[in-house]
Amino acid sequence: MEGFATDIALICGSPKGKNSASWVILQGLRDALPPQAAVREYAIRTAPLPEQALRGIAACDVLVFAMPLYVDGLPSHMVGALLQLEADFRETPQKERTAYALVNSGFYEGHQNAHALHMLRHWCRRAGVRWGQGIGAGGGGMLPETQNIPMGHGPKKRLGQALQTLAEAIVSGGQAEDLYITQNFPRVLYRMSAESVWRRKGRKNGLSKQELFAAPGEGPTA
């Protein structure tokens, strides 16, 4: 296939590794890629990168980063890993690489991930990597809980469509505008579900509903 990159690194940058929304998204992307694609998977949970992972990623033509939003930015261990990759890439400027990125967050709106995607764009310029496309996905917290629903269906309809678009860009080596999506799930129900999870976790850790929702300065340790 003309323009098809044979070496693709799918890089999960969540501290949760394979138990994360980032991993769910990457697996959805992998399913959208052609079966003949040579894909390598990496789960980065700490920095610095092991030498084997560093060499494997550096050998790939396409880098696909998937990670959660941390305080409107990138997880700190991924910042360390990216700096390590940047230093290595600068030593081999003759190799052309293209990066794509998938950033998800617990916010309902996908555009909340815009700053993190801009950070990755800046990293690409510094590291000599060509920017392909980014996807900012809201509602990441629901993805590990809906793994039984196929990508592109139900609440994951828009996400599945975005991943298909991204897969086509990867195969063609193309560049496209960044996409920001919300899940196909009502905001009010998403908030109710999230609050239910927080209440359950609060009870597990000995907090009552009143303590969990107390205003700053009103909690049991105030």
Q: Are 110 and 158 within one domain?
A: yes
Domain containing 38: what range?
A: 8-185
Q: What is the 3-state secondary structure (H, E, C) of 111-173?
A: HHHHHHHHHHHHHHHHHCCEEEEEEEECCHHHCHHHCCCCCCCHHHHHHHHHHHHHHHHHHHC
- pLDDT digit of tens for each residue in the chain (222 aa)? 444 547 999 999 999 988 899 999 999 999 999 999 999 999 999 999 999 999 999 999 999 999 999 999 999 999 999 999 999 999 877 789 999 999 999 999 999 999 999 999 999 999 999 999 999 999 988 888 888 898 889 999 999 999 999 999 999 999 999 999 999 888 888 777 767 766 777 888 888 777 766 766 655 544
In a domain, 112, yes or no: yes
CATH number of the CATH domain containing 20: 3.40.50.360
- How many domains are there within the chain? 2
168 and 195 belong to one structural domain: no
In this structure, are 160 and 199 located in the same domain? no
Residues 191 and 136 in one domain: no
CA angle, residues 86, 73, 51, in degrees to nearest 5: 30
Number of helices (H), then strands (E), belonging to the chain: the values are: 7, 6
User: In this structure, is residue 2 part of a structural domain?
Assistant: no
- How far apart, in whole angstroms, are the C-alpha atoms of residue 159 and residue 165? 10
Q: What is the pLDDT of residue 3?
A: 46
Q: Are residues 67 and 103 in the same domain?
A: yes
